[in-house]
Amino acid sequence: MSNKTVFRLAAIGACLAASSLLAHADQWSDIAQRKELKCGTFADVPPFAAPDPKTREMVGHDVDLCHAVAKELGLTAKVTPLSVEARVPEVKLGRVDVTIANLAYTKSRGEQIQFSDPYYVAKEMLAVKASDPGTAKADFKGKRLSSTKGSTSELSIKMNGSEPVTFQDTGSAFMAVQQNKSIGMVANTMTITKLVNQSKTEGVALKMIKEPMVLQPIGIGMKKDEPALLAKVNGALYALEKSGELDRIWAKWLGPNTEYKMVREEKVMPLADLKFELLP
C-alpha cells in the first residue's frame, strides 16, 4: 500500500471520527437551532399534567415547569403527553428532548438516562390512626401496612421490614386501615395529606408520621452522554430557583392554598449532596 493511499485512508478515518463527534454533540445545537424544547409530561396525572376540562390544553405543575425551563433557555416548549411507562423510553430514544413528569431517580432509570440535579424530593409517607403511639417508621417494623400493589409505596414497606398488604387502588388501602386490616397505609405525600384530611370527617381520624418511609429525588430526564444539554438544563433550574419561579409554580399547583397543602422544603441541589437510600 502506497504512502499516498495510507494518508487518504487516515484522512477519511479522521473525517468520519470528527463527524461522529459532531453528530454526538449535536443535541443541544439541534434544539437551539429549532428554538423548541420537546418536553414529555404525564398524559393525565393532575396536578402534574392533565388536559384542562374546558380548553383541552395541557396544564399542571410539570407543564408550567416545561415552559419555564424552555423560556430560560430562550426557547419555546412543545409539550408531549406520555404514558407513565413511556417517560424513560421516549427520552432515551430521542422522541422528546427532556422528560418532566415527576420522574424519580432510581438505580435502573439512572442506568438508562441522564438526570438533572433534583428540583424537589418526593416522599413516601406513612399514615396511621391518630391514636397510635408510634412516631417513627421503625415503630412499625413487622406491622401490616397497606399500599397499592407494585408501587414504590409497597417497596418502601418491604425495605422497612414491615408486612405489605396490597390493593389495586389507594381507596382500598385507606379502607384497610379504617377496617383494621392494616395498622397504617403508605403513599406519596400528596395522597396521604388528602386522606388524613379526609379522615377527620370520614371514619377514624389518621395522622401522618413525620419521618418519610423513603426519599425520591425528582429530576428532569435526558439522553445520556449529552453534557451540553445537561449543563443548560441544570443552569436553567438554578436560575429558576434563584428567581423564585420554581416556588411560584409549586405554590400554584401544590402549595398551602391548594387541596394538597404542601410546602416545598428542598431547593435545587446536586444529587451527590442528597442523602437517600437508592431505590432499585
| pLDDT tens digits, 53-80 | 999 999 999 999 999 999 999 999 999 9
Q: What is the pLDDT of residue 22?
A: 46
**Cell reading at 246:** 420554581
Residue 82 and residue 112 in one domain: yes
Residue 57 counted as domain residue: yes
Distances (CA, A) of 83 to 49, 78, 89, 123, 231: 11, 16, 10, 22, 27
Where in the sequence is the domain holding 146, given as residue range(s)?
123-214
**Domain end call among 166, 191, 214:** 214
| pLDDT tens digits, 181-236 | 999 999 989 889 989 988 999 889 999 999 999 999 999 999 999 999 999 999 99
Residue 96 and residue 140 in one domain: no
| pTM for this prediction | 0.78
**Domain end call among 189, 214, 239:** 214
Residue 187 and residue 150 in one domain: yes
Cis peptide before 217 (omega within 30 of 0): no
φ, ψ (nearest 5 deg) of residue 181: -85, -15
**Domain end call among 214, 229, 258:** 214
**C-alpha span between 73 and 15 (Å, rounded):** 32
Cβ proximity of 147 and 159 under 8 Å: no
∠26-29-32 over CA atoms, to 5°?
A: 150
**C-alpha span between 19 and 13 (Å, rounded):** 10
* pLDDT greater than 80 at residue 18: no
* pLDDT greater than 90 at residue 92: yes
- For the chain, how many structural domains are there in total? 2
* pLDDT greater than 70 at residue 24: no
| pLDDT tens digits, 133-165 | 999 999 999 999 999 887 888 989 999 999 999
Residue 129 and residue 196 in one domain: yes
